[in-house]
Structure 1
Amino acid sequence: MIWLTSCLCHSMFDMADGAKFLLLFLLLNISTLCFCTEQDIQCLKTVQQSVIDPNSVLKSSWNFENEIDGFICCFTAVECWFADENMVLSLHLGNLGLQGAFPQGLQDCASMTGMGLSNNSFSGPNPPDFSRQVPYLTSLDLSYNSFSRSIPQNISNMTYLNLLNLQHNQLNGQIPPQFDLLTRLSTFNVAENCLSGPIPPSLLIFPASNFDGNQGLCGAPSDDCPRSRRRWRPVRIKLHRLNDESSMGAAVGFVVGFVVAFYFSHCFVCSERLRAYVVRI
Structure 2
Amino acid sequence: MARKFLFSIVITTLMLSTTTSKNTAPIDEDYVLCLKSIKHSLEDPHNYLKSWDVDNPNINYPGFICKFNGIMCWNPGENRVLGMNLSYFGLKGKFPSGISKCSGILMLNISHNHFYGPIPSNISTMLPFLVTLKMSSNRFSGEIPASLGNCSHLSVLELDHNRFSGRIPAAIGELQWVSKFSVANNLLVGPIPRFVNGRMFNATSYDNNLGLCGYPFKPCKS
One fold, TM greater than 0.5? yes
> Which is richer in helix?
1
For 1:136, which of 109, 126, 129 is the aligned residue? 129
Aligned to 2:42: 51
Structure 1 counterpart SS, 2:97 = coil
Aligned residues: 198
CA distance in 2, matches of 1:144, 1:113: 21
Identical positions, percent: 38
Aligned to 2:201: 206
Aligned to 2:3: none
Alpha carbons of structure 1 residues 89 and 95: separation in structure 2 relative to 1, 3 Å: same
Q: Tell me by how many angstroms 1:34 deviates.
A: 5.0
Aligned to 1:62: 52
CA distance in 2, matches of 1:226, 1:208: 19
Alpha carbons of structure 1 residues 120 and 30: separation in structure 2 relative to 1, 3 Å: closer
Aligned to 2:177: 184
Aligned to 2:28: 37
Within 5 A, what are the aligned runs for 1:66-215?
Answer: 66-67=58-59, 68-202=61-195, 205-215=200-210
TM-score (norm 2): 0.84
Within the alignment, does 1:225 sit opposite 2:215 as a pair?
no
Opposite residue 137 of structure 1, the aligned amino acid is L
CA distance in 2, matches of 1:131, 1:36: 24
Q: Which has the higher contact order (CA 8 A, sep 6+)?
A: 2
TM-score (norm 1): 0.67
Q: Tell me by how many angstroms 1:209 deviates.
A: 1.5
Q: Tell me by how many angstroms 1:89 deviates.
A: 0.2
> Which is richer in strand?
2
Alpha carbons of structure 1 residues 81 and 30: separation in structure 2 relative to 1, 3 Å: closer
Aligned to 1:243: none
CA distance in 1, matches of 2:48, 2:210: 37
* 1:204–1:220 CA contact under 8 A, matched in 2: no
Unaligned runs of 5+ residues in structure 1 are 1-27, 228-281
Q: Tell me by how many angstroms 1:83 deviates.
A: 1.1
Q: CA RMSD in A?
A: 1.8
Opposite residue 104 of structure 2, the aligned amino acid is S
